[in-house]
Amino acid sequence: MSFPVSLQDIIKAHQRIAKHIHRTPVLTCTTIDNLVNRKVFFKAENLQKTGSFKPRGALNSILKLKEEHSKVAGIVTHSSGNHGQAVAWAARLADLPCCVVVPQGTPEVKAQAIKGYGADLVYCDPSPTSRVETCDKIAKDKGYFIVHPYDQYNTIAGQGTMAVEFLEEVPELDAILVPISGGGMTSGIAIAAKAIKPSIKIFPVEPLGKELGPCLKEKARLWKNPPQFVDTIAEGIRTQQLGHLTFPIVCELVEKQVFTVSNKEMVEAMKFVWQRMKTVIEASSAAGVHAVMSEEMRQLDPSLKNIGVILCGGNVDIDNLPW
Amino acid sequence: MSFPVSLQDIIKAHQRIAKHIHRTPVLTCTTIDNLVNRKVFFKAENLQKTGSFKPRGALNSILKLKEEHSKVAGIVTHSSGNHGQAVAWAARLADLPCCVVVPQGTPEVKAQAIKGYGADLVYCDPSPTSRVETCDKIAKDKGYFIVHPYDQYNTIAGQGTMAVEFLEEVPELDAILVPISGGGMTSGIAIAAKAIKPSIKIFPVEPLGKELGPCLKEKARLWKNPPQFVDTIAEGIRTQQLGHLTFPIVCELVEKQVFTVSNKEMVEAMKFVWQRMKTVIEASSAAGVHAVMSEEMRQLDPSLKNIGVILCGGNVDIDNLPW
């Protein structure tokens, strides 16, 4: 099956963005390997520019816009924070005006960071519908281009660059665990990884309440409408529904087995990583860490010996820790 | 002037321990460079085995003991935590019994880690005198060798290996800021760095209350006896007095200008590093970070362009953060 985003698009995206982003390190932890009885490799996107993987997709989108249009008036997006920071950062790098719509309740550290990159900040009601409407209105009024947090092919291609780097560095990976929200990262990684190494398995990791499993099994959008946020401490992955572009890709390429992680489990994994690995990760990253250390993982096919985990971000409001 | 520890001893120590320890990375942060208006390089010993620089000295001491004695009954030491973990780790690696004396009030995370490396834990009163006496008694009763946290030449040589790695990686360093406690790390780094690059300047960073400045200027041990702990959140550097072996080395090789850091300043620097650099450091490391970002630093000789800072440890009791 072919998709509108190919490995070739992802490699081109990588060429476009590589000199501006960090090639993030792959971390390992002997304690975790011993506990899990497999080799675990962490792609440390918490050390990426702006503190999450999001600049990959944002910068690819914006640079491609500039290649394709003689005049770009500006950029607008909506985001719970990490994508907002990334777009603000990428727009400044591309020398374009930028406006970021964020839901009320966004951690102050993320809001400050967005403003720090020189973008205008617009607050909206904390619902998926409100942020889309506010964003659309600004786009129309100002003639700005929308850079979607996950449901655009250029965003998907940008996020896929993580898998290119990861498999270059650890070609022996048998599986990758990816925290999933709108599905941009998961679909990009799945397209790249499966094209490079068809035997690799991609497992989604969701916050409790997302209910992705039944949707994947039925290949149907069983979620309630209008779209909701999941009640989770991992505000980076609180979007319940996958995108309309990402969902078919995820259905096709990703395993049906979904790892589901509670708030309490995320907190435990977060503390473990901070204390043992000395690296600051946010709750959405911790979901992946919990998954790889879980009982469910222990019962997984033992031939999957080398497991990758995406530490997708490290933006934490340090004065309001979830414990 | 020559000292009982030479660069040659430190290079031999490095050959002895290198395959067992991490060659820790050097981190940089554009935000800090811009704030400070110099280039700052962080030697990330928080990512060292056991979470601090201490295994360098501990392992060098223990491996050298085994080279020199046909039979070593065991190892005993006293430590507020990081050195204790390091000795426990090194003794297990060298397959020797080990006993660690720790003061009451040691963070539980450090005590657990020591036990996790298989050492016996003995609590003593939280005073420098009590821990020395308890340690001496165990050494006498069991015939164990004492591995001192700072005041032994093999410990000093081990800690000096940090400077060898640091200057190999960043030969352009003009100065190194070193958090100081008993002086083992500072004297080891000073001996190695000044021998490799005589123009380099070593600046000590102390917790408020240590009163190192007057002692260095007078070249005299002006501290009150019996030895005290400084009242600081940085329990890794709470020993007030330098050792009798380390003090003459520090007097001779280290700048008279001491950076003095308060608890509040350490907390600010700790939060800054956690949030911006996404790396977990303890308060003693944060002292060095505050120093390099301080007003005092801003007024320092502008020809010192490339500044090294030792992030000496990352062991934090995450349920009892100092804010």
Task: HSE, CB side, 13 Å, CA atoms: give it for residue B295.
Answer: 1
Task: HSE, CB side, 13 Å, CA atoms: give it for residue A258.
Answer: 20
List phi, psi (to 5°) of A267.
-60, -45
Q: Which of B61, B79, B80, B294 is catalytic?
A: B80
- Chain A interface, best mutation among B275, B277, B316, B323, by max A CB count within 10 A: B275
Above 90 in pLDDT, residue A10?
A: yes
Asked if A278's CB is within 8 angstroms of B314's CB, the reply is yes
Our answer to whether residue B264 is catalytic in this structure is no
Q: Using CA coordinates, name the residue in chain B closest to A278.
A: B280
Q: How far apart are CA B90 and CA B118, in angstroms?
A: 11
Q: Is B278 on the interface with A (CB under 8 A)?
A: yes
Alpha helices in chain B (DSSP H): 7-17, 30-36, 55-68, 82-93, 108-116, 128-142, 153-169, 184-196, 212-218, 246-253, 263-272, 283-292, 295-298
Q: Is B30 on the interface with A (CB under 8 A)?
A: no
Q: What is the pLDDT of residue A131?
A: 87
| Side chain identity, residue B219 | K
A117 to chain B nearest CA, in Å?
12
Q: What is the pLDDT of residue A20?
A: 98
Above 80 in pLDDT, residue B109?
A: no
A105 to chain B nearest CA, in Å?
19
Q: What is the mean pLDDT of residues A188-210?
A: 98
Interface of B with A in 31-50 (CB under 8 A): 46-47
pLDDT band at A6 (very low <50, low <70, confident <90, very high): very high
Say if residue B197 is exposed, middle or buried (CB neighbours under 10 Å; 0-12, 13-18, 19+): middle
Token reading at A241: 């529904």
Q: What is the pLDDT of residue B14?
A: 98
Q: Using CA coordinates, name the residue in chain B closest to A281.
A: B278
pLDDT band at B265 (very low <50, low <70, confident <90, very high): very high
Asked if A47's CB is within 8 angstroms of B278's CB, the reply is yes
Q: What is the mean pLDDT of residues A171-196?
A: 98
pLDDT band at B80 (very low <50, low <70, confident <90, very high): low
Q: What is the ipTM of this complex?
A: 0.91
A276 to chain B nearest CA, in Å?
8
Closest by Cβ to A278, choosing from B51, B319, B321: B51
pLDDT band at B299 (very low <50, low <70, confident <90, very high): very high
Q: Is A24 on the interface with B (CB under 8 A)?
A: no
Our answer to whether residue B210 is catalytic in this structure is no
Sheet of A98-103, strand order: A120-124, A98-103, A75-78, A145-146
pLDDT digits (tens, 9 = 90+) for B202-248: 999 999 999 999 999 999 999 999 999 999 999 899 999 999 999 99
Asked if A279's CB is within 8 angstroms of B279's CB, the reply is yes
Asked if B275's CB is within 8 angstroms of A109's CB, the reply is yes
Share of chain B above pLDDT 70, in %: 99
B14 to chain A nearest CA, in Å?
23
Average pLDDT, chain A: 95
What 3-state class would DSSP assign to B187? helix
CA dihedral B5, B305, B286, B132 (to 10 degrees): 10
Q: Using CA coordinates, name the residue in chain A closest to B271.
A: A318
Q: Is B299 on the interface with A (CB under 8 A)?
A: no
Chain B positions in Cβ-Cβ contact with residue A316 (cut-off 8 Å) = 274-275
pLDDT digits (tens, 9 = 90+) for A90-112: 999 999 999 999 988 877 877 88
- Chain A interface, best mutation among B50, B278, B312, B315, by max A CB count within 10 A: B278
Count of other CB atoms within 10 angstroms of residue A2: 6
Q: What region, left, alpha or beta, does residue A230 occupy, with left being phi > 0 and alpha being psi -120 to 50 degrees? A: beta
Share of chain A above pLDDT 70, in %: 99
Q: Is B311 on the interface with A (CB under 8 A)?
A: no
Q: Domains plus CATH for chain B?
A: 7-52+157-311 (3.40.50.1100), 55-146 (3.40.50.1100)
Q: Using CA coordinates, name the residue in chain A closest to B280.
A: A278
pLDDT digits (tens, 9 = 90+) for A15-72: 999 999 999 999 999 999 999 999 999 999 999 999 999 999 999 999 999 999 999 9
Q: Is B109 on the interface with A (CB under 8 A)?
A: yes
Above 70 in pLDDT, residue A312?
A: yes
| B77, B57 contact by CB (below 8 A) | no
A166 to chain B nearest CA, in Å?
20
Q: Is A71 on the interface with B (CB under 8 A)?
A: no
Average pLDDT, chain B: 95
Lowest mean pLDDT among A283-297, B4-18, B108-122, B232-246: B108-122
Asked if B46's CB is within 8 angstroms of A316's CB, the reply is no
Q: Using CA coordinates, name the residue in chain B closest to A113.
A: B276
Given the structure tokens 């660069």, which residue do they identify? B7
pLDDT digits (tens, 9 = 90+) for A65-79: 999 999 999 999 988
Strands B175-179 and B306-311: parallel
pLDDT band at A80 (very low <50, low <70, confident <90, very high): low
Q: Report the catalytic residues of A.
A: 54, 80
Q: Using CA coordinates, name the residue in chain A closest to B25.
A: A25
pLDDT digits (tens, 9 = 90+) for A103-137: 888 778 778 889 999 999 999 998 888 989 999 99
Q: What is the pLDDT of residue A49?
A: 95
pLDDT digits (tens, 9 = 90+) for B138-154: 999 999 999 999 999 99
Q: What is the pLDDT of residue A38?
A: 98
Chain pair A-B, CB pairs under 8 angstroms: 41
Chain A positions in Cβ-Cβ contact with residue B316 (cut-off 8 Å) = 274-275
Above 70 in pLDDT, residue B305?
A: yes
Chain A positions in Cβ-Cβ contact with residue B51 (cut-off 8 Å) = 278
